[in-house]
Structure 1
Amino acid sequence: MGNLIETERLVFAELRVGEDEAFILELLNSPGFIDNIGDRGVRDLEGARRYILDGPAASYAQNGYGLWRVAQRGDGASVGLCGLVKREGLEAPDVGYAFLESAWGQGYAAEAAAATLGHARRVLGLELILAITKPGNTASMRVLEKIGLRFEKMIRLPGATEDSTYFTTAP
């Protein structure tokens, strides 16, 4: 399968077993991922393979969307994940993203999230898109506001021990 989404600087593609395990292992174990999203318990390439199969790949099959690998257009280097997640406790898909810390501060999160939002509307026909963050993740909140989502309330997702900020595209 080719690229799903392309922007001026980025290309999105489905995560693939046999290709993306090392990248997933690095991203999921980066301090920024663990601090802002959580520890997924992925400690080796086999764990990364299971993460791809049980998470994004299962979501592609069930929902027609999921988290996609985001790479730089020029050199093809993987820099992050961005896409849509169907999450228990939310009435609509939420836009999610995570980038390697070496890619922070370059505007990739806003570029990728805006492209994902456009894809959700134009290609998937989704009107309502949500997003959640940890309350202290102000950088991520700024990205969501920049792409047109607005903070609505604090929520606690099923099984969570802490509240999350809840952003929506709804007026």
Structure 2
Amino acid sequence: MYTERLLLRRFTLDDAAAYLPLVADPAILRYTGEAALTSVDAAREILQTRPLRDYQVHGFGRMACIERASGRLIGFCGLKYLDEIQEVDIGYRFLPACWGKGYASESAAALLAQAFELYQLPRVIGLVQPDNLASAQVLKKLGLQYETSIDHVDGTPTYDVYALERAQSA
């Protein structure tokens, strides 16, 4: 799938080295509750057990975001089924050099449309830690509205839940 500036495609195991900074940089991980990974092998394992598994099980998952101008993997965005709360989450993560440039909004808008049009999902949520104002702003820009707060999803801190129903997305 193409957007104005991005190619959104499924991850492969060959992406492990380019994926590593997204799961190793403490600045990127600040709001995720995840521990930093330290090797390409660890990144490959995460790709195998998360997005690649999600593609097989659910038909969707986080997608590699490739900057069309450079051909470089600069982040990821996409849908993830959260077993713990039985909801589909839209999430995004980009390299710090790409923050504030609209890549999260651009990629998430395309994949949110796909969630409702292709997958016919009844609703999509976005989980953000309350102090992650930039991420909350992306969700609001996409039309998601604050719904509630929940504690300790995946053992991480409190999250604000934003949601958009398919009927509201039209």
TM-score computed with the length of structure 2 as normaliser: 0.92
Q: State the secondary structure of the residue aligned to 2:37.
A: coil
Cα distance change, pair 68–147 in 1 and its aligned pair in 2 (3 A): same
Q: Does 1:70 align with 2:65?
A: yes
Q: CA deviation at 1:127?
A: 2.4
* Residues 35 and 10 of structure 1: CA distance in aligned 2, closer, same or farther (over 3 Å): same
Between the aligned partners of 1:27 and 1:134, the Cα distance in structure 2 is 18
Once residues 91 and 39 of structure 1 are traced to their aligned partners in structure 2, the CA distance between those partners, rounded to angstroms, is 21
Amino acid at match of 1:73: R
Identical pairs, percent: 31
Partner in structure 1 of residue 121 of structure 2:
126
Structure with greater helix share of residues = 2
Give the whole-Å Cα distance in 2 for the aligned partners of 1:113 and 1:34: 19
Q: CA RMSD in A?
A: 1.4
Deviates more, 1:123-132 or 1:24-33: 24-33
Higher strand share: 2
Q: Using a 3 Å threshold, how does the CA distance of structure 1 residues 8 and 161 change in structure 2: closer, same or farther?
A: closer
- C-alpha distance 7-158 of structure 1, shift in aligned 2 (>3 A): closer
* Residue identity matched to 1:116: L
Distance 1:168 1:13 in 2: 24
Normalised by the length of structure 1, the TM-score is 0.91
Which consecutive unaligned segments of at least 5 residues does structure 1 have?
none
Is 1:92 the equivalent of 2:92? no
Query: Partners in 2 of 1:81 and 1:101 — Cα distance?
Result: 13
Name the count of aligned residue pairs. 166
- Number of the residue aligned with 1:54: 49
1:29 maps to 24
The residue number in structure 1 matching 2:110 is 115
Partner deviation per Cα, 1:109-164 (whole Å, 9 max, x = no partner): 01111111011111111120011011110000000000010011111244525210
Q: Which runs of 4 or more aligned residues in structure 1 lie more than 3 Å from their structure 2 counterparts after TM superposition?
A: none
Counterpart amino acid of 1:16? Answer: T
